Amino acid sequence: MYVDSKAYAPFACTFLVQERLQQLYNGLAQFRESDLEKSGEGDKLIETVRQITEVLIWGEQTNNSQFFDFFCEKSIFSDLVHVLGLKKASKKVKLQLLQTLSMLVQNIRRQTSVYYILSNNHVNRLMSTNMDFDDEEVLAYYITLMKSLAMRLDNESIKFFFIQHPEPAFPLYIEAAKFFSHKDHMVRATVRTITLQVYRIEDQPMRRFVLRHAAESYFSQLAYHLQDLWLRLNAAAAKVTSEEELSAVRRENELQQDLQIYLSDVFELGIEELNEVLADRLLNGAILPVLLAGVSNASPQRSGNTATWPVLLVARVLLVVMPGAPSSILAPSSKARSP
């Protein structure tokens, strides 16, 4: 949704725009979940949310802060997050809300406005909202919102994303990591952007949390996924008899290369503790199983395929191309196993 600052020229008087925003808010405040069962009410809600978004972004573009101040005063962001989580909300309603929230995160300029959006646990509630991620359109909008939020992540704003009490929680990171092996390239790329952005943040409590999650879950999943990609590549290469099958080999090769590039990016951040954990998990979850299967001419326990030389070569290349990995792999510290 593109917002042209000229769109409100016919009533550019600040008072009239403020009055219109008040009317829109009154309509939103009267909304009840049961209204979603009435014919046309979902479309009415969508239009209300769309117009509120236009007013707010117009205010940001014209450096008029009072509209966003009104938005904050009435806790409209919290209302939008609440509606997004309603079971009766249709797909159309949820897509509009996800688009609206993404646009607000992307377009707000004042630091105080940014901090309001991120405060009061809004972000964590938003990221933890249950949605139908089997629907590709819903997932695409959700992932776009995730990426928009991640671009606001820095050493100052981390306190809004990572919650230490009553117990540590980091929904943006945890929810993003769940899609690490998604079939859609855009989704995978966004997950990698978010995780790399998180790893760069120099906040020790957050880093300890991320390191523990990486050791217990995420990095092991990456390693097993890499092993599966190698075995799929090997299986595809073993039966090439046509151009179509050769194309399948190329696709499998691109997938494993893409993942190796991401792993290399993680190593190149130069975070010793993280590198040790990643190297250890890759060694035990991908490299050794494939190498040992090749030596014994038997497949790893997790797969029915035999690992032959094409995959072994890939495994050996991995040891060379990842900065800092060889020494960590050859002598992984105890921290890598128990962060």
Which residues partner with 169 through β-bridges? Answer: 163
Mutual angle of helices 219-238 and 272-282, in 10-degree steps: 40
Domain range list for the chain: 1-120, 125-202, 216-339
As a whole number of angstroms, the distance between CA 16 and CA 282 comes to: 61
Residue type, 127: M
Please provide the average confidence, as pLDDT, over all residues in the chain: 83
Contact between 318 and 260 under an 8 Å Cβ cutoff? The reply is: yes
Mean pLDDT of 40-55: 88
pLDDT confidence tier of residue 337, bands split at 50, 70 and 90 = very low
Which 8-state DSSP code applies to residue 307? P
As a whole number of angstroms, the distance between CA 282 and CA 288 comes to: 8
Q: In sequence order, which residues have a C-beta less than 8 Å from that of residue 265 and are 6 or more positions away?
A: 192, 196
pLDDT confidence tier of residue 330, bands split at 50, 70 and 90 = very low
pLDDT computed for residue 326 by the predictor: 43
Q: Is the pLDDT of residue 121 over 90?
A: no
As a whole number of angstroms, the distance between CA 152 and CA 156 comes to: 10
Using one digit for the tens of pLDDT, what is the confidence trace for 268-311?
Answer: 999 999 999 999 999 899 888 887 776 665 455 554 445 555 55
User: Helix, strand, or coil here: 168?
Assistant: coil
Contact between 14 and 66 under an 8 Å Cβ cutoff? The reply is: yes
Residue 242 has which token pair? 């046509």
Residue 296 has which token pair? 């014994």
Which 8-state DSSP code applies to residue 163? B
Residue type, 77: F
pLDDT computed for residue 19 by the predictor: 87
Q: Is the pLDDT of residue 338 over 50?
A: no
Contact between 256 and 315 under an 8 Å Cβ cutoff? The reply is: no
Using one digit for the tens of pLDDT, what is the confidence trace for 61-87?
Answer: 888 888 888 998 899 988 999 899 988
Residue 325 has which token pair? 């990995």
Q: Is the pLDDT of residue 137 over 90?
A: yes
Residue 102 has which token pair? 């993404």
Contact between 228 and 289 under an 8 Å Cβ cutoff? The reply is: no
As a whole number of angstroms, the distance between CA 216 and CA 302 comes to: 19
pLDDT confidence tier of residue 332, bands split at 50, 70 and 90 = very low
